[in-house]
Amino acid sequence: MRIRSSRGATDVLVERGALDALGTALPARIPGFSSTPVLVHDAASPKGLVARALRGLERDGLEPSAVALDLRGGKTLAQAEALCHALLERDCDRTAVLIALGGGAVSDLTGFVAAIYLRGVRYVNVPTTLLAQIDASIGGKTGVDLPEGKNLVGAFWPPTVVVVDPDVLTGLPATEWSSGFGEVAKYAVLAEDLLALLEATTSSPTNDPALLDQILAMCVRTKVRYVEADEFDRGVRRALNLGHTIGHALEAATGFALLRHGEAVALGLRAEAHLSRALGFASSEFEQRVVRLLRRLGLRTTIPALDVDRVLAFARHDKKREGDAIRFALPVAPGETRMVDVAELGRIADAVRSLFESA
Ligand SMILES: NC(=O)c1ccc[n+]([C@@H]2O[C@H](COP(=O)([O-])OP(=O)(O)OC[C@H]3O[C@@H](n4cnc5c(N)ncnc54)[C@H](O)[C@@H]3O)[C@@H](O)[C@H]2O)c1
Ligand SMILES: [Zn+2]
Protein backbone atom coordinates (compact mmCIF):
# COMPACT_ATOMS: atom_id res chain seq x y z
CA MET A 1 0.00 0.00 0.00
CA ARG A 2 1.17 3.53 -0.67
CA ILE A 3 0.19 6.74 1.14
CA ARG A 4 0.75 9.96 -0.76
CA SER A 5 1.28 13.05 1.36
CA SER A 6 2.67 16.57 1.03
CA ARG A 7 6.04 15.16 2.12
CA GLY A 8 6.18 12.40 -0.47
CA ALA A 9 5.05 8.81 -0.37
CA THR A 10 5.07 6.17 2.35
CA ASP A 11 5.12 2.54 1.23
CA VAL A 12 3.47 0.14 3.67
CA LEU A 13 4.45 -3.50 3.32
CA VAL A 14 2.66 -6.33 5.11
CA GLU A 15 4.73 -9.48 4.69
CA ARG A 16 5.78 -12.42 6.83
CA GLY A 17 9.56 -12.73 7.08
CA ALA A 18 10.14 -9.10 6.05
CA LEU A 19 12.22 -8.45 9.19
CA ASP A 20 14.95 -10.75 7.85
CA ALA A 21 15.01 -9.07 4.44
CA LEU A 22 15.31 -5.38 5.37
CA GLY A 23 18.62 -5.14 3.49
CA THR A 24 16.90 -5.80 0.17
CA ALA A 25 13.46 -4.29 0.84
CA LEU A 26 14.64 -0.89 2.05
CA PRO A 27 17.28 0.05 -0.58
CA ALA A 28 14.81 -1.07 -3.27
CA ARG A 29 12.29 1.49 -2.02
CA ILE A 30 14.45 4.33 -0.74
CA PRO A 31 16.59 6.11 -3.35
CA GLY A 32 20.13 6.76 -2.10
CA PHE A 33 19.61 4.48 0.92
CA SER A 34 22.36 5.00 3.50
CA SER A 35 24.97 2.20 3.71
CA THR A 36 25.12 2.89 7.45
CA PRO A 37 21.50 2.97 8.65
CA VAL A 38 20.87 3.48 12.37
CA LEU A 39 18.58 0.92 13.99
CA VAL A 40 16.79 2.47 16.97
CA HIS A 41 15.15 0.07 19.42
CA ASP A 42 13.74 -0.23 22.93
CA ALA A 43 16.40 -1.58 25.31
CA ALA A 44 13.64 -3.77 26.78
CA SER A 45 12.40 -5.29 23.52
CA PRO A 46 13.33 -8.88 22.61
CA LYS A 47 17.05 -9.15 21.71
CA GLY A 48 16.28 -11.71 19.02
CA LEU A 49 14.35 -9.20 16.93
CA VAL A 50 17.19 -6.66 17.01
CA ALA A 51 19.73 -9.32 16.03
CA ARG A 52 17.54 -10.52 13.14
CA ALA A 53 17.03 -7.01 11.81
CA LEU A 54 20.78 -6.28 11.96
CA ARG A 55 21.62 -9.59 10.24
CA GLY A 56 19.03 -8.88 7.56
CA LEU A 57 20.76 -5.58 6.82
CA GLU A 58 24.33 -6.92 6.99
CA ARG A 59 23.59 -9.79 4.62
CA ASP A 60 23.12 -7.23 1.90
CA GLY A 61 26.43 -5.52 2.57
CA LEU A 62 25.08 -2.69 4.72
CA GLU A 63 26.83 -1.59 7.92
CA PRO A 64 24.06 -0.78 10.39
CA SER A 65 24.62 0.39 13.95
CA ALA A 66 22.14 0.10 16.80
CA VAL A 67 20.99 2.58 19.44
CA ALA A 68 19.05 1.26 22.45
CA LEU A 69 16.60 3.65 24.08
CA ASP A 70 15.71 3.46 27.76
CA LEU A 71 11.93 3.86 27.59
CA ARG A 72 11.13 2.76 31.14
CA GLY A 73 10.16 6.36 31.89
CA GLY A 74 8.19 6.60 28.61
CA LYS A 75 9.17 8.50 25.47
CA THR A 76 10.78 11.70 26.76
CA LEU A 77 12.60 14.75 25.43
CA ALA A 78 15.65 13.49 27.32
CA GLN A 79 15.60 10.25 25.31
CA ALA A 80 15.10 12.22 22.09
CA GLU A 81 18.13 14.33 22.95
CA ALA A 82 20.14 11.20 23.76
CA LEU A 83 19.27 9.84 20.31
CA CYS A 84 20.40 13.10 18.67
CA HIS A 85 23.75 12.78 20.47
CA ALA A 86 24.08 9.18 19.30
CA LEU A 87 23.47 10.29 15.70
CA LEU A 88 26.10 13.04 15.96
CA GLU A 89 28.56 10.55 17.42
CA ARG A 90 28.04 8.48 14.27
CA ASP A 91 28.59 11.54 12.05
CA CYS A 92 25.08 11.16 10.63
CA ASP A 93 24.37 13.83 8.03
CA ARG A 94 21.17 14.65 6.17
CA THR A 95 21.41 11.45 4.10
CA ALA A 96 20.98 9.38 7.30
CA VAL A 97 18.21 6.80 7.51
CA LEU A 98 16.86 5.78 10.93
CA ILE A 99 15.07 2.48 11.38
CA ALA A 100 12.63 2.39 14.31
CA LEU A 101 12.24 -1.21 15.50
CA GLY A 102 9.72 -1.63 18.31
CA GLY A 103 6.37 -0.53 19.65
CA GLY A 104 4.68 2.83 19.21
CA ALA A 105 6.95 4.45 21.79
CA VAL A 106 10.00 3.73 19.61
CA SER A 107 8.37 4.86 16.35
CA ASP A 108 6.92 8.04 17.89
CA LEU A 109 10.28 9.03 19.37
CA THR A 110 12.42 8.00 16.40
CA GLY A 111 10.05 9.76 13.99
CA PHE A 112 10.20 12.90 16.13
CA VAL A 113 14.01 12.88 16.12
CA ALA A 114 13.96 12.24 12.36
CA ALA A 115 11.79 15.38 12.03
CA ILE A 116 14.14 17.63 14.01
CA TYR A 117 17.66 16.20 13.58
CA LEU A 118 19.42 18.49 11.07
CA ARG A 119 15.90 19.80 10.31
CA GLY A 120 14.80 16.44 9.00
CA VAL A 121 16.15 13.05 7.92
CA ARG A 122 14.39 9.97 6.60
CA TYR A 123 13.19 7.09 8.73
CA VAL A 124 11.55 3.70 8.44
CA ASN A 125 9.15 2.04 10.89
CA VAL A 126 9.42 -1.65 11.67
CA PRO A 127 6.63 -2.02 14.27
CA THR A 128 6.81 -5.01 16.62
CA THR A 129 3.57 -4.72 18.61
CA LEU A 130 0.08 -5.27 17.20
CA LEU A 131 -0.88 -1.71 18.17
CA ALA A 132 2.12 -0.23 16.42
CA GLN A 133 1.61 -2.40 13.31
CA ILE A 134 -1.97 -1.29 12.74
CA ASP A 135 -1.90 2.21 14.19
CA ALA A 136 1.12 4.03 15.62
CA SER A 137 3.58 3.28 12.80
CA ILE A 138 1.29 4.67 10.10
CA GLY A 139 0.15 8.24 9.60
CA GLY A 140 3.12 10.51 10.29
CA LYS A 141 2.24 11.60 13.83
CA THR A 142 5.45 11.62 15.86
CA GLY A 143 6.27 13.00 19.26
CA VAL A 144 7.19 12.60 22.90
CA ASP A 145 5.44 13.01 26.24
CA LEU A 146 6.02 15.76 28.81
CA PRO A 147 5.45 15.38 32.56
CA GLU A 148 2.28 17.47 32.01
CA GLY A 149 0.78 15.04 29.50
CA LYS A 150 1.18 12.64 26.61
CA ASN A 151 2.21 13.59 23.07
CA LEU A 152 2.48 17.29 23.91
CA VAL A 153 5.54 17.84 21.70
CA GLY A 154 5.72 16.48 18.20
CA ALA A 155 5.54 16.89 14.46
CA PHE A 156 3.88 15.42 11.41
CA TRP A 157 6.77 13.62 9.76
CA PRO A 158 5.83 10.49 7.81
CA PRO A 159 8.15 7.51 7.52
CA THR A 160 9.42 6.59 4.06
CA VAL A 161 8.59 2.92 4.48
CA VAL A 162 6.63 0.91 7.07
CA VAL A 163 7.48 -2.80 7.27
CA VAL A 164 4.81 -4.89 8.98
CA ASP A 165 6.01 -8.45 9.62
CA PRO A 166 3.29 -10.46 11.42
CA ASP A 167 5.92 -13.05 12.46
CA VAL A 168 7.44 -10.64 14.98
CA LEU A 169 4.28 -10.74 17.08
CA THR A 170 4.98 -14.30 18.27
CA GLY A 171 5.89 -13.91 21.90
CA LEU A 172 4.02 -10.65 22.42
CA PRO A 173 2.72 -10.57 26.03
CA ALA A 174 -1.05 -11.06 26.46
CA THR A 175 -1.62 -7.47 27.61
CA GLU A 176 0.02 -6.15 24.44
CA TRP A 177 -2.23 -8.38 22.32
CA SER A 178 -5.28 -6.99 24.16
CA SER A 179 -4.06 -3.47 23.68
CA GLY A 180 -3.80 -4.07 19.93
CA PHE A 181 -7.20 -5.79 19.81
CA GLY A 182 -8.80 -2.64 21.25
CA GLU A 183 -7.67 -0.78 18.13
CA VAL A 184 -8.73 -3.75 15.94
CA ALA A 185 -12.24 -3.34 17.41
CA LYS A 186 -12.15 0.36 16.50
CA TYR A 187 -11.27 -0.48 12.89
CA ALA A 188 -14.01 -3.13 12.81
CA VAL A 189 -16.58 -0.47 13.64
CA LEU A 190 -15.16 1.66 10.81
CA ALA A 191 -14.82 -1.13 8.23
CA GLU A 192 -17.79 -3.42 7.74
CA ASP A 193 -15.79 -6.19 6.03
CA LEU A 194 -13.50 -6.49 9.05
CA LEU A 195 -16.50 -6.55 11.40
CA ALA A 196 -18.08 -9.33 9.33
CA LEU A 197 -14.82 -11.31 9.32
CA LEU A 198 -14.44 -11.06 13.09
CA GLU A 199 -18.08 -12.01 13.66
CA ALA A 200 -17.85 -15.02 11.37
CA THR A 201 -14.58 -16.53 12.55
CA THR A 202 -14.44 -19.33 15.07
CA SER A 203 -10.69 -19.20 15.63
CA SER A 204 -8.51 -16.73 17.52
CA PRO A 205 -6.11 -14.48 15.59
CA THR A 206 -3.37 -15.25 18.13
CA ASN A 207 -3.16 -18.84 16.91
CA ASP A 208 -4.44 -18.58 13.36
CA PRO A 209 -1.71 -16.88 11.27
CA ALA A 210 -3.85 -16.65 8.12
CA LEU A 211 -6.63 -14.91 10.06
CA LEU A 212 -4.15 -12.57 11.73
CA ASP A 213 -2.66 -11.62 8.35
CA GLN A 214 -6.13 -10.82 7.03
CA ILE A 215 -6.96 -8.70 10.07
CA LEU A 216 -3.66 -6.83 9.86
CA ALA A 217 -4.15 -6.07 6.18
CA MET A 218 -7.69 -4.80 6.73
CA CYS A 219 -6.72 -2.61 9.69
CA VAL A 220 -3.71 -1.18 7.84
CA ARG A 221 -5.84 -0.49 4.76
CA THR A 222 -8.40 1.34 6.89
CA LYS A 223 -5.77 3.50 8.58
CA VAL A 224 -4.12 4.23 5.22
CA ARG A 225 -7.47 5.29 3.77
CA TYR A 226 -8.13 7.87 6.51
CA VAL A 227 -4.55 9.16 6.61
CA GLU A 228 -4.42 9.69 2.89
CA ALA A 229 -7.77 11.51 2.93
CA ASP A 230 -6.71 13.83 5.77
CA GLU A 231 -2.94 14.10 6.25
CA PHE A 232 -3.03 16.60 9.13
CA ASP A 233 -5.99 15.23 11.08
CA ARG A 234 -8.33 18.16 10.59
CA GLY A 235 -11.39 16.41 9.18
CA VAL A 236 -12.43 12.88 8.28
CA ARG A 237 -9.43 11.29 10.00
CA ARG A 238 -10.97 12.25 13.34
CA ALA A 239 -13.21 9.22 12.91
CA LEU A 240 -10.13 7.30 14.10
CA ASN A 241 -10.75 8.88 17.51
CA LEU A 242 -13.64 6.48 17.95
CA GLY A 243 -13.57 5.17 21.53
CA HIS A 244 -10.73 7.55 22.38
CA THR A 245 -12.51 10.47 24.06
CA ILE A 246 -13.74 8.28 26.91
CA GLY A 247 -10.82 5.86 26.45
CA HIS A 248 -8.20 8.57 27.06
CA ALA A 249 -10.15 9.93 30.01
CA LEU A 250 -10.26 6.45 31.60
CA GLU A 251 -6.52 6.01 31.05
CA ALA A 252 -5.79 9.38 32.63
CA ALA A 253 -8.26 8.94 35.51
CA THR A 254 -6.64 5.62 36.42
CA GLY A 255 -3.13 7.11 36.29
CA PHE A 256 -2.11 5.19 33.14
CA ALA A 257 -1.50 2.19 35.38
CA LEU A 258 -4.63 0.04 35.23
CA LEU A 259 -5.30 -0.13 31.49
CA ARG A 260 -3.15 -0.46 28.37
CA HIS A 261 -4.12 2.09 25.74
CA GLY A 262 -6.12 -0.29 23.54
CA GLU A 263 -7.92 -1.78 26.54
CA ALA A 264 -9.07 1.74 27.44
CA VAL A 265 -10.14 2.30 23.82
CA ALA A 266 -12.26 -0.86 23.98
CA LEU A 267 -14.03 0.41 27.11
CA GLY A 268 -14.34 3.80 25.43
CA LEU A 269 -15.96 2.14 22.41
CA ARG A 270 -18.53 0.48 24.61
CA ALA A 271 -19.33 3.67 26.52
CA GLU A 272 -19.48 5.73 23.33
CA ALA A 273 -21.81 3.18 21.70
CA HIS A 274 -24.01 3.54 24.80
CA LEU A 275 -23.89 7.35 24.47
CA SER A 276 -24.62 7.16 20.75
CA ARG A 277 -27.68 5.03 21.44
CA ALA A 278 -28.82 7.31 24.26
CA LEU A 279 -28.59 10.30 21.91
CA GLY A 280 -30.63 8.47 19.30
CA PHE A 281 -27.85 7.90 16.72
CA ALA A 282 -27.11 4.19 17.13
CA SER A 283 -29.66 1.40 17.54
CA SER A 284 -29.55 -0.72 20.68
CA GLU A 285 -28.93 -3.67 18.37
CA PHE A 286 -25.73 -2.00 17.14
CA GLU A 287 -24.67 -1.17 20.70
CA GLN A 288 -25.04 -4.85 21.57
CA ARG A 289 -23.06 -5.80 18.48
CA VAL A 290 -20.16 -3.62 19.63
CA VAL A 291 -20.22 -5.24 23.08
CA ARG A 292 -20.26 -8.75 21.52
CA LEU A 293 -17.34 -7.80 19.28
CA LEU A 294 -15.25 -6.68 22.26
CA ARG A 295 -16.04 -9.94 24.08
CA ARG A 296 -15.12 -12.00 21.00
CA LEU A 297 -11.75 -10.27 20.97
CA GLY A 298 -11.27 -11.19 24.65
CA LEU A 299 -11.42 -7.57 25.73
CA ARG A 300 -12.74 -6.46 29.10
CA THR A 301 -16.03 -4.60 28.85
CA THR A 302 -16.37 -3.51 32.48
CA ILE A 303 -14.22 -1.81 35.11
CA PRO A 304 -14.52 -1.34 38.86
CA ALA A 305 -16.49 1.81 39.70
CA LEU A 306 -14.44 5.00 39.74
CA ASP A 307 -15.00 8.73 40.24
CA VAL A 308 -17.11 9.76 37.22
CA ASP A 309 -16.47 13.48 37.75
CA ARG A 310 -12.76 12.83 37.50
CA VAL A 311 -13.26 10.95 34.23
CA LEU A 312 -15.37 13.83 32.87
CA ALA A 313 -12.76 16.36 33.94
CA PHE A 314 -10.13 14.49 31.92
CA ALA A 315 -12.49 14.20 28.95
CA ARG A 316 -13.04 17.97 29.06
CA HIS A 317 -9.29 18.55 28.95
CA ASP A 318 -9.01 16.33 25.94
CA LYS A 319 -7.54 18.08 22.87
CA LYS A 320 -10.85 17.53 21.06
CA ARG A 321 -12.65 19.94 23.38
CA GLU A 322 -14.67 22.74 21.80
CA GLY A 323 -16.28 25.28 24.13
CA ASP A 324 -17.91 23.51 27.02
CA ALA A 325 -19.17 20.58 25.00
CA ILE A 326 -17.05 17.47 24.58
CA ARG A 327 -16.33 16.38 21.04
CA PHE A 328 -16.88 12.75 20.12
CA ALA A 329 -16.53 10.56 17.09
CA LEU A 330 -19.56 8.39 17.89
CA PRO A 331 -20.19 4.95 16.41
CA VAL A 332 -23.53 4.98 14.61
CA ALA A 333 -23.67 1.83 12.46
CA PRO A 334 -21.12 -0.49 10.79
CA GLY A 335 -18.83 1.79 8.78
CA GLU A 336 -20.60 4.91 10.01
CA THR A 337 -19.48 7.45 12.60
CA ARG A 338 -20.68 10.91 13.48
CA MET A 339 -18.77 13.88 14.90
CA VAL A 340 -20.85 15.29 17.73
CA ASP A 341 -20.27 17.98 20.37
CA VAL A 342 -22.06 16.71 23.45
CA ALA A 343 -22.92 19.38 26.02
CA GLU A 344 -25.12 17.18 28.21
CA LEU A 345 -22.52 15.97 30.66
CA GLY A 346 -25.11 13.84 32.46
CA ARG A 347 -25.43 11.66 29.35
CA ILE A 348 -21.68 11.19 29.21
CA ALA A 349 -21.60 10.36 32.93
CA ASP A 350 -24.29 7.69 32.36
CA ALA A 351 -22.23 6.21 29.53
CA VAL A 352 -19.16 5.98 31.79
CA ARG A 353 -21.27 4.42 34.57
CA SER A 354 -22.56 1.79 32.15
CA LEU A 355 -19.04 0.32 32.28
CA PHE A 356 -19.01 -0.22 36.02
CA GLU A 357 -18.96 -3.82 37.19
CA SER A 358 -22.03 -3.32 39.37
CA ALA A 359 -24.00 -1.59 36.57
N1 LIG B 1 1.75 8.09 16.27
C2 LIG B 1 0.56 7.57 16.36
O3 LIG B 1 -0.29 7.75 15.48
C4 LIG B 1 0.22 6.73 17.55
C5 LIG B 1 -0.97 6.00 17.58
C6 LIG B 1 -1.23 5.17 18.68
C7 LIG B 1 -0.30 5.10 19.71
N8 LIG B 1 0.84 5.84 19.66
C9 LIG B 1 1.86 5.76 20.74
O10 LIG B 1 2.36 4.44 20.78
C11 LIG B 1 2.80 4.15 22.10
C12 LIG B 1 2.25 2.81 22.52
O13 LIG B 1 2.75 1.84 21.64
P14 LIG B 1 2.74 0.27 21.97
O15 LIG B 1 1.40 -0.11 22.44
O16 LIG B 1 3.34 -0.41 20.83
O17 LIG B 1 3.61 0.19 23.29
P18 LIG B 1 5.19 0.28 23.57
O19 LIG B 1 5.94 0.87 22.46
O20 LIG B 1 5.28 0.93 24.89
O21 LIG B 1 5.59 -1.27 23.70
C22 LIG B 1 5.00 -2.05 24.69
C23 LIG B 1 5.95 -3.08 25.25
O24 LIG B 1 6.08 -4.18 24.35
C25 LIG B 1 7.45 -4.55 24.21
N26 LIG B 1 7.57 -5.19 22.89
C27 LIG B 1 7.61 -4.57 21.71
N28 LIG B 1 7.62 -5.47 20.72
C29 LIG B 1 7.60 -6.69 21.30
C30 LIG B 1 7.57 -8.03 20.80
N31 LIG B 1 7.54 -8.28 19.47
N32 LIG B 1 7.55 -9.06 21.67
C33 LIG B 1 7.52 -8.80 23.00
N34 LIG B 1 7.54 -7.57 23.54
C35 LIG B 1 7.57 -6.52 22.69
C36 LIG B 1 8.19 -3.26 24.40
O37 LIG B 1 9.52 -3.46 24.78
C38 LIG B 1 7.37 -2.57 25.49
O39 LIG B 1 7.77 -3.00 26.76
C40 LIG B 1 2.34 5.30 22.98
O41 LIG B 1 3.46 6.13 23.24
C42 LIG B 1 1.32 6.02 22.11
O43 LIG B 1 1.25 7.40 22.39
C44 LIG B 1 1.11 6.63 18.60
ZN1 LIG C 1 -5.42 4.66 19.96
For residue 339, the SS3 value is strand
DSSP codes of every residue in 40-81 = EEETTS-HHHHHHHHHHHHTTT---EEEEE--TT-S-HHHHH
For position 48, what pLDDT does the model report? 96
CA-closest candidate to residue 20, choices 159, 163, 156: 163
Q: How confident is residue 318, by pLDDT bands cut at 50, 70 and 90?
A: low
* Domains of the chain and any CATH numbers: 2-169 (3.40.50.1970), 174-353 (1.20.1090.10)
Q: How confident is residue 359, by pLDDT bands cut at 50, 70 and 90?
A: low
Q: Is the pLDDT of residue 320 over 80?
A: no
Write down the number of H helices and E strands in the chain: 13, 11
Query: For the chain, how are helix, strand and coil distributed in percent, rounded to 5?
Result: 50, 20, 30
Rounded average pLDDT over 99-127: 98
For position 111, what pLDDT does the model report? 98
Q: Mean pLDDT across the chain, nearest whole number?
A: 95
Cα dihedral sign, 135-299-216-30: positive
Q: Is the pLDDT of residue 68 over 80?
A: yes
For position 323, what pLDDT does the model report? 61
Spatial separation of the C-alpha atoms in residues 178 and 197, rounded to whole Å: 18
Which ligand 1 atom is the nearest neighbour of the CA of 139?
A: 3
* pLDDT tens-place string over residues 323-336: 678 999 999 999 99
Query: Ligand 2 mean position to 61 CA, how many Å?
Result: 38
Q: How confident is residue 217, by pLDDT bands cut at 50, 70 and 90?
A: very high
Rounded average pLDDT over 8-19: 96
Q: Is the pLDDT of residue 133 over 90?
A: yes
Instruction: Among 126, 129, 223, name the best residue to mutate to test ligand 1's pocket (greatest count of ligand atoms within 8 A of Cβ).
Output: 129
Q: Is the pLDDT of residue 322 over 60?
A: no
Phi and psi at residue 93, to the nearest 5°: -110, -165
Rounded average pLDDT over 161-183: 97
Spatial separation of the C-alpha atoms in residues 327 and 272, rounded to whole Å: 11
* pLDDT tens-place string over residues 178-190: 999 999 999 999 9
For position 358, what pLDDT does the model report? 77
**Least confident residue range of 147-151, 197-201, 226-230, 355-359:** 355-359
Spatial separation of the C-alpha atoms in residues 322 and 128, rounded to whole Å: 35
Residue type, 234: R
- Nearest residue by C-alpha to atom 16 in ligand 1: 103
* pLDDT tens-place string over residues 233-262: 999 999 999 999 999 999 999 988 899 999
- pTM for the predicted model, two decimal places: 0.96
Would strands 149-156 and 141-146 be described as parallel, antiparallel, or unpaired? Answer: antiparallel
Which ligand 1 atom is the nearest neighbour of the CA of 49?
A: 31
For position 229, what pLDDT does the model report? 96
Rounded average pLDDT over 74-96: 98
Which ligand 1 atom is the nearest neighbour of the CA of 169?
A: 31
Query: Residue 154: nearest ligand to its CA?
Result: 1
Query: Residue 260: nearest ligand to its CA?
Result: 1
For residue 124, give Cα distances in angstroms to 34, 46, 97, 162, 183.
Answer: 12, 19, 7, 6, 22
Residues in the chain: 359
CB atoms within 10 A of CB 17: 11
Cβ < 6 Å from ligand 1: which residues?
42, 44-46, 49, 75, 102-106, 108, 128-129, 131-132, 135-136, 139, 141, 150-151, 168-169, 171-172, 176, 179, 261
Higher-confidence position of 322 and 354: 354
* pLDDT tens-place string over residues 249-306: 999 999 888 999 999 999 999 999 999 999 999 999 999 999 999 999 999 999 999 9
Q: Which residues, including other chains, have CB under 8 Å from residue 153's CB and lie 6 or more apart?
A: 77, 112, 143, 144, 146
Query: Ligand 1 mean position to 108 CA, how many Å?
Result: 9
For position 243, what pLDDT does the model report? 98
Spatial separation of the C-alpha atoms in residues 195 and 189, rounded to whole Å: 6
Q: How confident is residue 98, by pLDDT bands cut at 50, 70 and 90?
A: very high
Q: How confident is residue 316, by pLDDT bands cut at 50, 70 and 90?
A: confident
Within 230-283, residue ranges assigned H as helices are 244-253, 261-278
Contact between 2 and 12 (Cβ < 8 Å) = yes
For residue 225, the SS3 value is helix
DSSP codes of every residue in 155-169 = EE---SEEEE-GGGG
For position 256, what pLDDT does the model report? 86
Angle between helix axes 284-296 and 261-278 (nearest 10 degrees) is 170
Rounded average pLDDT over 78-95: 98
Phi and psi at residue 140, to the nearest 5°: 80, 0
Spatial separation of the C-alpha atoms in residues 139 and 134, rounded to whole Å: 10
